Structure 1
Amino acid sequence: MSLNMLGKKVGMTQIFNEEGHAIPVTILQVGPCTITQVQNNKIQIGYEYINPQRLSQPSLGYFNKLKIPCFKYLKEYESKSFYLNNLKTGIIYTIKQFKKGHFISVSATSIGKGFSGYQKRHHFSRGPMSHGSKNHRQPGSIGAGTTPGRVFPGKRMAGRMGCSKVTIKNLQIIDVNLKENILIVKGSVPGKKGNLLQIYNQK
């Protein structure tokens, strides 16, 4: 059975294979995670211990009620596996379930780019750059005139870019370090260094 895990992005580098080709990889610090609650077909996991003094009273009471350590991050997900009956609160699991060569999926919040124009955000082409042109980087017409007399929802225009949940699938595991809880995967993952990640086996 594969359990979802939480981790953080350490950074990117490159390694060389036996043929001497450079492979871009991302280093992930994953787990260990603790099962904090199992209810029906849902599992809640905790990641990264935190000082109880830094928690609010409701959060502290929640952990005291479950009789488990305090965690900085909690994540709940749904699983339809019949193995849920064997899971109990307080079980700690690591990256032993991930093997070299397997494929995983990583979900995280992408880097925020702020308020961006339509060229950067939607890859629109620019206008003429010759003298006299007044449409270098302007959006141009955004709709018809009297009819319908409004802009339809979903029109691609300038706006906030990034800072949204992104999932990258089929990331191959290049190496696993059980001692340091390190996963090295081929390619890039969303977010910046230190970003919280959700890692799970590719179905």
Structure 2
Amino acid sequence: MKGIIGKKIGMTSVYGPEGKQLAVTIIEAEPNVVTQIKSHDKDGYSALQLAVGDKKEKRATKAAVNHFAKASTSAKKIVKEFRDYSIEKNIGDTVTVEIFAEGEKVDVVGTTKGKGFQGVVKRHGFSGVGEQSHGQHDRQRAPGSVGGSSYPSRVFKGMRMAGQMGNDRVKLKGLKVVKIFPEKNYILVSGSVPGHIGSTVFIQK
């Protein structure tokens, strides 16, 4: 595996090699610092720990400051491990967008936009109870019946109801790397990527 920590910048469109217009997401991946290397002998598994985003030293614990000092870098905001990293790196080295190539397929992991507490119409696509009758009001977006009376005398688990929507960890697989701008630390991937603008995403293969 190889991967990098990035930040979602937004979406745009570019023209592909066949002259076809493609919708792409711009991800800014500043050089990631290798802060720890884990091995099977010492830790039981192989992984590369990457960190990005400077953090004020006074806002970091002393243990974290010492940990990052071993890599000769300042305290970082975001730390992520990538298992079985395929590229040889040493502590203190940097990982840039150039580890990927144009035309390559990658997976992108992000956290979807949080929608808060939503009703059944928005959350599950219900159409509501129907038109009003005598004495009824505000029923258009209601969930309707949720369980039987005498049998089964309970509500089944998994019943679709109102509740928290969004803010879920999502992995999109097989997105194509359309363009790379090493001088700007930009990587353009096809299609949309989960998360709001400015959110942290992980690109891996």
Which TM-score band applies after superposition, normalised by the shorter structure? 0.7 to 0.9
Aligned pairs (5 A) from 1:28-67: 28-40=27-39, 41-64=46-69, 67=72
Aligned pairs (5 A) from 1:84-163: 86-129=88-131, 131-132=133-134, 135-163=139-167
Aligned pairs (5 A) from 1:178-193: 178-193=182-197
Gaps of 5+ in 1: none
Q: Is the 2:34–2:71 contact (alpha carbons within 8 Å) kept by the matching residues of 1?
A: no
Is the aligned partner of 1:75 residue 2:80? Answer: yes
Q: For 2:196 and 2:91, how far apart are their aligned partners in 1?
A: 32
Gaps of 5+ in 2: 40-45
Query: Higher mean Cα deviation, 174-183 or 118-127?
Result: 118-127
Is the aligned partner of 1:166 residue 2:170? Answer: yes
Query: How has the CA–CA distance of structure 1 residues 35 and 65 changed in structure 2, closer, same or farther, with 3 Å as cutoff?
Result: closer
TM-score (norm 2): 0.85
How much has 1:179 moved relative to structure 2? 1.1
**Structural RMSD (CA):** 2.2
- 1:98-143 residue CA offsets vs partner (Å, 9 max, x unmatched): 1111111110110011111111111122232355466421111111
SS at match of 1:62: helix
Percent of aligned pairs sharing the same letter: 33
Query: Corresponding residue for 2:42?
Result: none
How much has 1:20 moved relative to structure 2? 5.2
Aligned residues: 197
